[in-house]
Structure 1
Amino acid sequence: MVDLVVIALLSAAAGAIVWGTDRIHRHTYGELLPAGIAVAAALLTWIITVAAGLGYQPGLTWIPWIASLLVGVFLSTTATQLLGRRRTAFERAHMTVILRQY
């Protein structure tokens, strides 16, 4: 149980770092979105890897830790990049429509 708490805290910190490093698109989505995606992905990966028998065995204990953190950071970065680009394009198109009306 403590392992899940540590994974959640580490992946939330990684999600906060992802938000902090995205200077171009971070104004288009909330501060907690990357952290939430990272936590959800990391915990789900942890549960899957431990259920598959890769955790709590000598020599394989590190796999759930590294896999869950890598998946959390990867999905958080990917989701925020895709969402940031789409949201910026949508807002630009919406503003263009509004400005053309006047």
Structure 2
Amino acid sequence: METVWSLVIDIIVTGGLGFALWAADRRHGKYGIMLPVALGVVVACGTWIVLVSAGTGYMSGLTWMPWVLPMALGVTASFVVTKVIERSREKRDVADLNRVLKG
């Protein structure tokens, strides 16, 4: 049961940091509010499942892994993917605007 609390904490922290990431990004209008949150939570849950299945939640000296690693990977994935989507969306929006204005 101890290990399940690490999943709950991972989801809450990663979701909260996803919202904070969205709020801190000045160009957050290029993608939806739930993208960084959902992506971070999915990555954190997947990482947690893999780590707990590998037994790291019960091994002495490795109990930190299901707590810290999913949060770090979830926030990193949220940041990287939102930046990639933001850039590609901005390029596409500019190209569409130029096409309409030339039209």
Quick one: which amino acid aligns to residue 30 of structure 1? G
Give 1:7's aligned residue.
10
Q: Which residue in the other structure is 2:61 paired with?
A: 59
Q: How many residues align?
A: 100
How many Å separate the matches in 2 of 1:69 and 1:3?
Answer: 10
4+ residue runs over 3 A deviation:
none
- Structure 2: runs of 5+ lacking an equivalent: none
Distance in 2 between residues matched to 1:60 and 1:29, nearest whole Å? 37
2:74 to 58, 72, 75: 72
Single out whichever of 5-14 and 73-82 deviates more from structure 2.
Answer: 5-14
Q: Partner residue of 2:98?
A: 96
| Residue identity (%) | 34
* C-alpha distance in structure 1 between counterparts of 2:87 and 2:70, whole Å: 26
The TM-score normalised by the length of structure 2 is: 0.91
Question: What amino acid sits opposite 2:20 in the alignment?
Answer: I
Structure 1 regions of 5+ residues with no counterpart? none
Amino acid at match of 1:70: A
Per-residue Cα deviation, 1:32-84 (whole angstroms, up to 9, x for no partner):
11000000000100011111111122221111111100100100000000000
CA distance in 2, matches of 1:6, 1:67: 12
Contact 2:15–2:40, Cα closer than 8 Å, also in 1: yes
Which letter does structure 1 place at the counterpart of 2:61? G
* Counterpart-to-counterpart distance in 1, 2:24 and 2:61: 34
1:26-65 correspondence runs (5 A) = 26-65=28-67
